[in-house]
Amino acid sequence: MALPVRPDAGVVEHDLCGEVDLTTGSVINRIIFGYGFDESNEQEFRRTKSTITNFFEASQDPRMAILFGKSWLLNQLPGFGKTMQRVEGANEEYRTWLEAQIDKHIAEMDAVGADDTPPKDYVSAYLREKRKREATGDKHTFRLEQLKGECYEMWLAGTDDPQNNFNWGVAHALNLPEEELQPVYDELNAVVGSDRLVTMADRQSLPVVNSFLMVGFANTAF
């Protein structure tokens, strides 16, 4: 999503970390569920991301190390039970959102019926393979619970670490001397120009940009 353009001139501030989060989340969501995020559904992403952040923060509370593997009675102790409830609440909210996405795919497949067009996303491909094997009587392990678990892990992995590392990369680039960034600008202007976005097809033609990105990732925990 492009950064909004302010009609008034002067100093314009942008939430770069927020834009990176939204863009990264849009990529992984498009892969899994077939659609990205923009101005029309940005709040959906923000709510889901906030739920995941809440889940991670509560899970990393030192009290959780005591809670795990202990009896249910420990959850009733002051300060401990609320921490566990926070984790469980965030986890349930996240799972409910994921299940709603899968249920929507199932409903769309039921309405359309057999479809030979390429699947639009991971969930569509998984459900098609599941139904194909069921129709032929083949034994398989394509279970809905497995799909939910895979989406759960992929969305977490695709929207947490990558976002942190991309945000770090942006901060790293902003603090580099102009002369170190000039070769990157020059190559982007020569190969891509200013009238379109970079695509995967440009990768082989952008060795300087690739090197710059690799150095950035090498300085993170990616």
Res 18: pLDDT: 82
Res 21: pLDDT: 86
Pull the structure tokens for residue 141.
Answer: 């392990």
- How far apart CA 19 and CA 36 sit, in angstroms, is 13
Q: How many CB atoms lie within 10 A of CB 107?
A: 10
Res 118: pLDDT: 86
Q: How many CB atoms lie within 10 A of CB 105?
A: 21
Given its phi and psi angles, is residue 61 left (phi above 0), alpha (psi -120 to 50 degrees) or beta?
Answer: beta
Nearest CA-CA partner of 35 in 128, 91, 101: 101
Res 158: pLDDT: 82
Domain ranges of the chain: 16-162, 177-218
Q: Are 14 and 3 in contact (CB under 8 A)?
A: yes
78: helix, coil or strand? coil
Residuewise pLDDT in 10s, the chain (222 residues): 445 555 554 546 777 778 888 888 999 999 999 999 988 999 999 999 899 888 888 777 777 767 666 656 556 677 677 777 888 888 899 999 999 999 999 999 888 877 778 899 999 999 999 998 988 888 888 999 999 999 999 998 888 778 778 888 888 888 888 898 999 999 999 999 988 888 889 999 999 999 988 887 777 655
- Token pair 């947490």: residue: 160
- How far apart CA 112 and CA 93 sit, in angstroms, is 29
Res 188: pLDDT: 94
Nearest CA-CA partner of 28 in 122, 158, 150: 158
Task: Show the 3-state SS of 159-183.
Answer: HCHHHHHHHHHHHHHHCCCHHHHHH
- How far apart CA 67 and CA 65 sit, in angstroms, is 6
Q: Which residues, at least 6 apart from 217, have a Cβ–Cβ distance to it below 8 Å?
A: 165, 169
